[in-house]
Structure 1
Amino acid sequence: MSVRSLSATLALSAALLGVGVPTASARPSVYDLPGDAGGSKFEGIGYDAHTQRYYVSETTGGEIHRGNLRSAAATEWLQGDGTDGRWTARGVTVDARGRVYVAGGPNGIDHSGAPDLWVYDRDGRLLAALRTGVPNAFLNDLVIGPDGAAYVTNSNAAQVFRVSETRGRWSIRSWVDATATIPVTTGFNLGGIVLSPDRRALVVAQGNVGKLWRFDLRTGAVSAIDAGGADLVNADGLVQDGRRLWVVRNFSRVLSTLDLSADGRKARLVSATPTDPSRVLTTAKLAQGRLLLVDSKFDEPTAVPPYQVITLNPPRR
């Protein structure tokens, strides 16, 4: 086969898969992450639309890596291994002022008295290191609400925390405890979190049982979202764009596309697209029309490079 024919074949295959083919002027279709010699694993991703930078958390050490959409490789932005009391990290999000929020997962469980969450400015200056004061809190994922506060899920309880700042003083508190409504079972419970299309509620995934829950931002009322019996087991990261909801189903290796009602009370399955069987994708962010998805390496006892964020043109139907 000629070089020209091979290039055409690769381009067609990539188009069918929805994966971009990099050219000299295009954005990379895969971003490389730094890692440790002994193996690194990853989970969360945040995106700053103003600077076109993305941030990825490393669970094995708590490092935070940062990259630019135009560059093929990220660099270590924040050290881990105890830096600011952080030995591991999970969800990451960025607010309108470019402040980076990092959820600590089991950081406060594994290291008594250590923070559960951190906030940094764009220059990497620590603004806050917060403890929930709640035993066994596993802070998983975050979303910025219309009020400017961050809302954070607890995977070990039916609980959402609220992180806010007033005149430079930061606080974290239990916002809603839904123990009476959401049965907690073995495994990871509440995880991915986004806003409803009308921005009046939170949509939260309970991955171990494959359910979606609605948290009303005004009243705190919690109710099950009617997803029409869609299989959402292993739901991890959520991405919302208008009435479209993408559900990253890690070990199921599926990206489910749903249509949400404006108020987030109902969801209809549009498609369930298999993802790369050699990767366990945990979560994603939408950046300039593409999904940036974290390859966690969770399926490897000892992770080996390459460590990567992959891109997909998201299914729309």
Structure 2
Amino acid sequence: MSVRTLSATLALSATLLGLGASTASAARPSSYELPGDPGGSKFEGIGFDARTQTHYVSETTGGEIHRGQLRSGAAAEWLRGDGTDGRWTARGVNVDSQGRVYVAGGPNGIDHPGAPDLWVYDRDGRLLAALRTGVPNAFLNDLVIGPDGAAYVTNSNAPQVFRVAEQHGQWSIKTWADATGTIETATGFNLGGIVVSPDRKALVVAQGNVGKLWRFDLRTGKATAVDTAGANLVDADGLVQQGTSLWVVRNFSRVLSTLRLAPDGRTARLLSATPTDPDRVLTTAKLAQGRLLVVDSKFDEATAVPPYQVITMNPPRR
């Protein structure tokens, strides 16, 4: 893509999403540059540590984790990939209240039998845990920190949610919920994005290949369909929740959908469906100081070429 085309499409996306000059300043860049490999890099997950104003981005091509500051326009490699700690690829990233960074491995354990499915690091990059689910064909996609402090992780190859917890220095991962018989596994990526409901009593999970949302009760683990009144949510990938606002990043559909989510997570109503940059496939996002930090995956490019970026958006609110 030419510089002129890139500038035009960025301007279009900024206009559609309400991104103005006021949000792009020396103190708050409008995009963040990611390092990449000479042969091309692709990206997916993002975590944000509000306490240190630090974002973490996962690279699927190699499993590197990149880290940057909110006030700096450039990120740097934080954790090496290509087999480091048994990690050849990485997907979802999240940060808990202690600054510990959780990394979901996607198909890492499928492509490399016996390799970990998930890792936990402290703020200094020290490995705290490298865990295997023990579940065949598990694709660990995205994760959220629950009200109990545990991490809940989706399986894109089965209707399952895993729970990752630490007790007395010992880490464990187990199948917390299995909705087989309730959620039909379809072709493609199934469970992906995950957030906590506004009342903090349930998890809301996206099933992107069929465009559905599911509610998992945190007390019982039972899954029920979220009533979305038929909203088109196909390609739902990353979910971001603040209060009763739910933003759905729909990757290859190139749409950011805004919904009003009931406090208990049982219903959601579509408020807007905003086109995003047609030359980007956006995957996951985190809210940081009122803006969405959104990963440009490069999934639409056979061989990815720079720039590799996290872009910013003003989330639509109604």
TM-score range for the pair, normalised by the shorter chain length: over 0.9
**Unaligned runs of at least 5 residues, structure 2:** 1-9
Q: For 1:282, give the aligned amino acid.
A: T
Q: For 1:199, give the aligned amino acid.
A: R
Q: Is the 8 A contact 1:20 1:312 kept in 2?
A: no
| 2-structure distance, mates of 1:100, 1:291 | 19
1:206 matched residue in structure 2: 207
1:14 CA drift (Å): 4.9
Q: Calculate percent identity across the aligned residue pairs.
A: 82
Distance 1:163 1:12, change over 3 A: closer
- Mapping 1:1-317, distance limit 5 Å: 14=14, 17-21=17-21, 25-317=26-318
User: Alignment partner of 1:88: what SS?
Assistant: coil
2:5 matched residue in structure 1: none
| 1-structure distance, mates of 2:271, 2:205 | 19
Q: Is the 8 A contact 2:139 2:155 kept in 1?
A: yes
1:11 CA drift (Å): 9.8
Distance 1:249 1:92, change over 3 A: same
Distance 1:24 1:290, change over 3 A: closer
Q: Is the 8 A contact 1:20 1:311 kept in 2?
A: no
| 2-structure distance, mates of 1:97, 1:260 | 28
1:12 CA drift (Å): 11
User: Alignment partner of 1:252: what SS?
Assistant: coil
1:26 CA drift (Å): 3.1
**Unaligned runs of at least 5 residues, structure 1:** 1-9
Q: Is the 8 A contact 2:16 2:276 kept in 1?
A: no
1:230 CA drift (Å): 0.2
Count of aligned pairs between the two proteins: 308
| 2-structure distance, mates of 1:123, 1:220 | 34
| 1-structure distance, mates of 2:101, 2:196 | 18
User: Alignment partner of 2:252: what SS?
Assistant: helix
| 1-structure distance, mates of 2:213, 2:13 | 34
Instruction: Give a deviation string over 1:242-266, Cα, whole Å, max 9, x none.
Output: 0000000000000000000110000
Instruction: Give a deviation string over 1:84-103, Cα, whole Å, max 9, x none.
Output: 00000000000000000000
The runs of at least 4 consecutive aligned structure 1 residues that moved more than 6 Å come to 10-13
Query: RMSD of aligned C-alpha atoms?
Result: 1.5
| 1-structure distance, mates of 2:14, 2:115 | 45
Distance 1:219 1:296, change over 3 A: same
TM superposition score normalised by structure 1: 0.95
